[in-house]
Structure formats: structure tokens, C-alpha cells
Amino acid sequence: MVIISSDIVKIDLLINEFKWSDIERDILTKMDASKGRYEYTSRAQLQFELKLRENIINAAKKLNAGDMEFSTFRKSTCNLDYWDRTDEGAFRFKKGISPSDAIRDIDINSSKYATECATAMVIIYYQALLNIYGDKLFNNVFPDIQLMNWHYINSPLEDIGYIDKRSDYLPGDRQYFNNPDVNPVTPEWQGENVINLNNEVYFGHGIGIENAHKIINELNDYRIEKAKTSAYLLDSAGRPDFKYLAAIYNESKLM
């Protein structure tokens, strides 16, 4: 159910009151049908979450359509006009370059980038927030960005680095396919971080946009000989703190 200011919301009325996109309407319907409680202090807070979830999905699809390659950290690459590559294989935006321009360049010059699936997830969340926040607010909130899986996430986004069991799994969530019998020769395939795109379809960097069955089959190709355990989707998800990010956005509108 959806609760705003302690009142249970009649979703049909809410859907008719605002002009929602198809994916926003679908997420609202899933929330309403849930046994869990989706609680908000205001409609603006709910609207922000739906808008960000839609932008996460769009950013994932855009990354998939680009030319960024999959690689290990040892072989990672970036556009050296915007980023410095560290010895670890991480990317830190260059002095004199704004964080927003550096993040945007990953989309513009995607062929100059290569990294693994966790870092791709972080990039997607940054790109989605940049699209909503705009350059000025984004640069104020994220003055220092270093991209390397979950190691250097800025605090406003740190929750995506943790996955927990949820009452529901919604479009825009980060989920994980585990591959416990991975071949040690290819440890990069020990699992796949994905963005839930809706209707049991996921985006994973290096695999693309597929359903769960195809992602599992792909991971199973990288198991040890005579493996007995199939890859599987964990019953958990990572989410940014939507309410905190909404507060930043809504407060900026009052200034």
C-alpha cells in the first residue's frame, strides 16, 4: 500500500490526478498491490522516487545502447580528457573538469570506456540523478567522484552498495545474480549486478538486457567443470535513499 502523510492513498484517484508516465503508473500499481508499506511525507516525495526510478531505467537502457565495453579493473579504460585512471583501475574526474561533465562524457564518448558490472551500476545512478538534479545541484552534492564498484560511492548514494531482502522488487532496483560455482579462471563472472527494468527483465553490463533465465544461462557457462549449483537471482535488492535525495532536490527548489 501507499501512504502519504499517514493516509492510505487511493491509487486510482492519484493516477488520475497527475500525468504519470507508463513506468511510473506501473510502479505505483505494484506499490499499491504490495503487502509492504510505502510511506511518504508528501506527494512531492513520492513523485521524486517515481521520477528517479524512471530515470534509472532510462540510463540503464542508454548505457546498453552505447559502446562501453565490459572489462576487469586491470584492463579498464576511460576518456583521459575527463578522467584519471588510478592504479586500481578506478576513474577519478580530472582537476578543472566538473563532475557533471565527466559523468555526461561516459554517455557521449562511451567507446572510450571499459569497466565491470558494479561500476556500471554506479554510473547509471549518477547519470539518472544528473538528469534530474541538473549540473549545478549535482556538482554541489557530488563534488568529488571516483568510480570503482562500491568502494568510493559518495554518501548520498551509498545505500546502493548494500542489498537487503525487500517486500517487493521494483523497476530501478539494483539486484544481483550469484554464480557460486564460478570457474576461478574467470572470477569476473562470479555474479552479475543488474538494474531491474520491469516485468522480470534486467540490464547487466557485459550481458545486456535479458530476462532472468537468459542471464542465468550466461553465468552458468562460466562455472567449473561438473558444477552442481546453478547461478540464481538473490532475493534482495539495493536502493538509493530516495527520501534523502528527494529532500535535497525539493529544498533546492525553495532557494
Please write the tens of the pLDDT for every residue from 82-94. Answer: 999 999 999 999 9
Contact assessment for residue 119 and residue 153, using Cβ atoms and an 8 Å cutoff: no
Please write the tens of the pLDDT for every residue from 110-155. Answer: 999 999 999 999 999 999 999 999 999 999 999 999 999 998 999 8
Instruction: Give the position of cell 547509471.
Output: 124
Considering the domain boundaries, does residue 9 fall inside one?
Answer: no
- Number of domains present in the structure of the chain: 1
Listing DSSP states for 184-216 in one string gives TT-GGGSEEEEEEEETTEEEETTTEEEEHHHHH
Considering the domain boundaries, does residue 197 fall inside one?
Answer: yes
Cα separation, 205 vs 193, whole angstroms = 8
Considering the domain boundaries, does residue 189 fall inside one?
Answer: yes
Which residues have a Cβ under 8 Å from the Cβ of 247 and sit 6 or more positions away?
45
- Biggest distance spanned by C-alpha atoms of the chain: 62
So what's the pLDDT on residue 254?
A: 76
So what's the pLDDT on residue 35?
A: 87
Contact assessment for residue 169 and residue 175, using Cβ atoms and an 8 Å cutoff: yes
Considering the domain boundaries, does residue 154 fall inside one?
Answer: no
DSSP class of 236: -
Sign of CA dihedral 94, 98, 102, 105: negative
Any idea what the Cα angle at residue 157 is, between residues 15 and 111, rounded to 5°?
Answer: 95
| Span between the terminal Cα atoms of the chain, in Å | 33
So what's the pLDDT on residue 212?
A: 97
Kindly list the averaged pLDDT for each block of 10 residues, start to end, along the chain of length 255: 90 84 93 92 94 98 97 96 96 95 98 97 98 97 94 91 94 97 95 96 97 97 95 97 96 79
Cα separation, 249 vs 142, whole angstroms = 13
Domain that holds residue 191: 174-233
Considering the domain boundaries, does residue 184 fall inside one?
Answer: yes
